[in-house]
Structures are given as structure tokens and as C-alpha cells.
Amino acid sequence: MFGELLKGLQTTLRYMFRPPVTVQYPDVKRPVRERFRGRHELKRFANGQERCIGCSLCSAACPADAILVVPAENNLEQPTSPGERYAATYEINMLRCIFCGYCEDACPTNAIVLEHQYELSFYDRQTSIYTKDMLLVPPDQGHGEIPPILTQLGDKRPSPPAQIDL
Amino acid sequence: MKAEGTMIKTEELQINIGPQHPSTHGVFRMLVTVDGETIVDLKPVFGYLHRNHEQIAEVNTYLQNMPYTDRLDYFNSMANNQAYAMAVEKLAEIEVPERAEYIRVIMVELTRILNHASALGFLINDMGAWQTPLAFGMREREKILDLFESTSGARLMCNYFRFGGVVRDLPPDFVPRLQSLLTGLPTFIDEFERMLRENEILRIRSEGIGVLPKEVAISYSVTGPVLRGSGIPYDIRKAEPYSIYDRFDFDVPIGTVGDVYDRFLVRIEEMRQSKRILEQALKQLPDAEGGHINPKARQNIRPPVGDAYTRIESPKGELGFYLVSDGGQTPYRYKVRAPSFINLTPLSDMCRGYKVADVVVILGSIDIVMGEVDR
């Protein structure tokens, strides 16, 4: 019995001198992988125009019905986005969202991208709804990088992207 | 033993274990009739986590159901995805490219290792070895979850499979990382096995406990490691090879008695066999050239009228999906044959005659996930 006890403690001692596998979470943050699907971001073109054209395909592809898009006609003198329409309202309910990534798959202009932020918590249901101001990349912070994996996929994308019969 | 007449008279008593008990692996309630410490009868009560999975699936399109299957058995989202994808592929007659099949097998076998590592950790946790063995299992699981994250973009809810392939190709550094993981795996498995085989307390808690005889196991249509622990070499990967499993060389481990100890050893051995399959799959993995591992990945499909049932050997047992199509965008009927649910049914037979403290261990050895039991 005494021998077994020592044997057990030997394992304990061995592990004491190994580096820990854990990280001290709020102080140290583990970087996420490149393909990680976190909070959404609405991207811009290089000239500052919004990529989103208000087509609502993301909303149609969403399994959890988390996205609300209300499109409006572009002002021709100062267009918000290329094309005829833009998203006047763009809301994502983060409590409904299941982060499956179908919205970024469905998007014909790569406007919506699931980015790397994962710390999403709310005090009430109202604050869980992310509006367009919160999702859109601010104009002074560039136009937002599109991850290469999405642009690669874009080449092989069937057109139009959704609702194709087999 | 006291002479008859002088023994203390006992009365039968009904007690609840759960639904909010940490060792019931979720919201699961057991209505236990005890005589002293001995179990006279046990009635499992579940349904607390019912969330209408099958009905929701009839409203969603085929593709939209894929992330929902992740949430059935949230430990093995990849295996659930494969079973569902196979069902739709059978229904719509979609071919899967070679490379995609290999990627699928690699992912599902990684899932098996992940599931068994954490399930055994939880089992030892249930036996009273608080937290440390579980942490060993979780440490190994974390390495696999990291691979999943770099491949699919999520650690648990992977949503990686599509009809006719997988959504994205493997990242460039996947194969070397997997190889280094496989090199370290035997050390972990051996250490884990030693923890039970050489520990007197754990052996007393598991040997001869929760015996499930062969005939009873068959009559309850139990599958997976629980059935194999009872000594029946039935593995769907061998019995009815799906995907490309007929190309791999692996053994089906079986137990002898059918107690908790046997189920433990079967799972340990299955991890070794999964490692063997992974090594072979990595060797045979076709090159990425030729592009396209997901020809129809992004599209909504309308399968022809008909029905299909496919089953796979998920880490917990036979996972089957039954789909009926009426030619529309959504399934007309969608049914899941959940291994956790069916393996749970002989619980009262397994527990009868043992002590209250054994119930928790027996339940842990079945390895259930309530998300799959209740759906």
C-alpha cells in the first residue's frame, strides 16, 4: 500500500515540472485559428462604399432566422453601395445566431464575414440585437480585410448563389 | 450474517436522483426504489431537454438542418454531420469525391478518440476520482478540438460536412499537426489505461458492476461500446461498411462479462484502433489537386421523391437518419435513431440489485449525452 502511494506521488511530482497546458483566460487570451467563426462584420469596398447590397440572401440562408435585412433604394448622387439597393436596416440577433457560417457562404459580395471576436455576452435581450452601426466596419478603419479562404471559394461559386435545383 | 428474526426490518423507499444532479450527465432524472442501499427498481425519466429537433428539421431546408445535427450529440458533431450527409446523399444520389471521403473518415475517427477520452474521464469522475483523470482526458480532447477549429472554424459545433463533400479543404499544416498528435497519443492511452487497471479502488467500483448479459443487450437493441462490452463483435464499420471503411485494417475489441470494467477497456482499445485507422487514412489520403471536394456544397437541393435510411458507427453506437422526401426543399419526415437514447433503455435492468452509489457509475459507463437522448 505504501509503495503504491509513492508510485502515485511520483506521477504527481513528474507532472509538477511540466509546463502547464492551461491559460489564465481573462488575462491571457488564446489566439483563435484563421477560420474561426465568431462575431459578424459587414465589410466595405476600398472606396468606402458598403459591400452589402441588401439582397437578403443571408437572411434566407440563416437556419435560425437571426438576420433582419430591410433594403432601400440607393441615392444616385451619393450611393451607399454599388448597385440599386443597400441595406437600410441590418440586424443580427446574437442570441439566435448559431454561428454556422451560412450567411457568409450565401453572400454574393462577401459583405458579411464571421470574424474572430467571441466574447459576446449581454445583460438583456435588447442588447443582444446587433444593429448595422455595430456590425459595419467604421469608415476610418479601412475597408476590412476579406479572409483569403472566402475569396478562393468565390471563384467556384455557382451564380446565383442560392436556391438552385439539383 | 444475523439469524433470521433478528434482522432489521427495512421498507422500500422511492428517491429521486436528478434531474439537477451533477452526475446524471445533463437534465436526467432517475426514480429509484431502494431497499436500504440496494436498488429494487429504477425508472429513467427524461424529456427535460426536448427541443423539437425532428419537427424543426421538417421546416428547415436540407442544408439548414446540418448545423442542427451538430447539436444532437455535442461531443461528436462531426459524426452526426456524417450520418446526416450520408442520408441526404443516398436520397439525392450524390457522389462523394475520394479526398472528401478520406477527410470525413479522419474527422470522424478523431471524434471517436475525443469522445472516448472525455467519456472515460467523466466515468472515472463518477467513480470518485474527482477531476484529475477528467483533466487528462480533456487535455487530449483540447488538441483535437484545436485541429477541428483550424479546419472547420469551430471547436464543437463544426458544421463541416456538406452534401457531396466537406465545406473546405484541410488547412496546409493539418497533416503534420495530426501526425504529431498521433505520435503522442499512445502515451496518453497507456497512461489512462494504467490509471484504471492498476488502481484498486477503481477496479472494485467497476468489476462485476452493471452487468449486461448478451441476450439482454440484443433484446434492447443496444449498440456501440456497450454492446461490444457485452461480448458481441458488432461494429457497423465491419458489419455493413459505409464510406471507405472497407479499405482499412482494424479490429473490433470486445469485452467478456459486460460490466463497467469491460466497457472501459473496450473504449480504450477503440481509441487505439481509431489511431490505426487514422494512420492508414493519412497514408492513403489523395492529393488536393483536382480541386473540388465539395461540388454541391453551397446549394439548396431538392431530392427526388423517396426515402432513405443510413447508419454509421458513431462513437456512442448506431446513429441513423431516416429521411422521407416529397420532392420539395424540406424533408417530409426526418427521424433520428439516437444511440444514447436506445442504450439508456436497459438502465433499470443493469442497475437492479446493485447499490445506489453504483447507479452513477453504470450511467457513466453507458456514455449518454442528453442532447441526443431528448432531441
Is the Cβ of A33 closer than 8 Å to some Cβ of chain B? yes
ipTM rounded to 2 decimals: 0.78
Whole-Å CA distances, B7 to A148, B4, B21: 77, 6, 33
Distance from CA of B290 to the nearest CA of A (A): 13
E-assigned strand segments in B82-223: 161-162, 165-166
DSSP string, B286-345: PPSTT--S-TTTTS---PPSEEEEEEEEETTEEEEEEEEE-SSSS-SEEEEE-HHHHHHT
Chain CA centroid to CA A64, Å: 15
Residue pair B187/B194 in contact by the 8 Å Cβ criterion: no
**Grid cell in block for residue B303:** 431530392
CB atoms within 10 A of CB B105: 23
Residues of B in contact with A4 (CB under 8 A): 200
Q: Are B139 and A21 inside 8 Å of each other by CB?
A: yes
Q: What pLDDT is recorded for position B123?
A: 86
Q: What pLDDT is recorded for position A164?
A: 31
CB atoms within 10 A of CB B54: 14
- C-alpha–C-alpha distance, residues B254 and B270, integer Å: 10
Q: Which domains does chain A have, with CATH numbers?
A: 31-163 (3.30.70.3270)
Q: Which of A33, A37, A39, A98 to mutate to test the interface with B (most CBs of B within 10 A)?
A: A33
Residues of A in contact with B92 (CB under 8 A): 166
Distance from CA of A116 to the nearest CA of B (A): 10
Q: What pLDDT is recorded for position B321?
A: 92
Q: Are B157 and A99 inside 8 Å of each other by CB?
A: yes
Chain CA centroid to CA A149, Å: 14
Residue pair B310/B116 in contact by the 8 Å Cβ criterion: no
Q: Are B67 and A149 inside 8 Å of each other by CB?
A: no
Count how many Cα atoms sit within 13 Å of the Cα of residue A157 in the half-sphere of its side chain: 19
Please give chain B's pLDDT, 375 residues, in tens: 445 556 777 788 888 887 877 777 778 888 888 888 888 888 888 888 888 888 988 888 888 888 899 888 888 889 999 999 889 888 888 888 888 888 889 999 999 999 998 888 888 888 877 777 888 888 888 889 989 998 888 888 888 888 877 887 788 888 889 888 889 888 888 888 887 787 788 888 888 888 888 888 899 999 989 999 888 888 888 888 888 888 888 888 888 888 888 888 899 999 999 999 998 988 888 776 544 565 545 567 888 898 999 999 899 989 999 999 888 888 899 999 989 889 888 888 888 888 888 888 888 888 888 888 888
Distance from CA of A68 to the nearest CA of B (A): 17
Q: What pLDDT is recorded for position B292?
A: 52
Distance from CA of B46 to the nearest CA of A (A): 25
Q: What pLDDT is recorded for position B6?
A: 65
Closest Cα in chain A to B139: A21
- C-alpha–C-alpha distance, residues B372 and B375, integer Å: 5
CB atoms within 10 A of CB B142: 14
Is the Cβ of B146 closer than 8 Å to some Cβ of chain A? yes
> Which helix (H) or strand (E) is B88 found in, with range?
helix B77-92
Strands of B29-35's sheet in order across: B12-17, B29-35, B38-45
Q: What pLDDT is recorded for position B111?
A: 92
Q: What is the pTM of this model?
A: 0.85
Supply the DSSP symbol for B369.
Answer: -
Is the Cβ of B300 closer than 8 Å to some Cβ of chain A? yes
* pLDDT averaged per 10 residues, chain A (length 166): 80 85 86 86 80 85 89 81 83 90 81 85 88 81 64 46 33
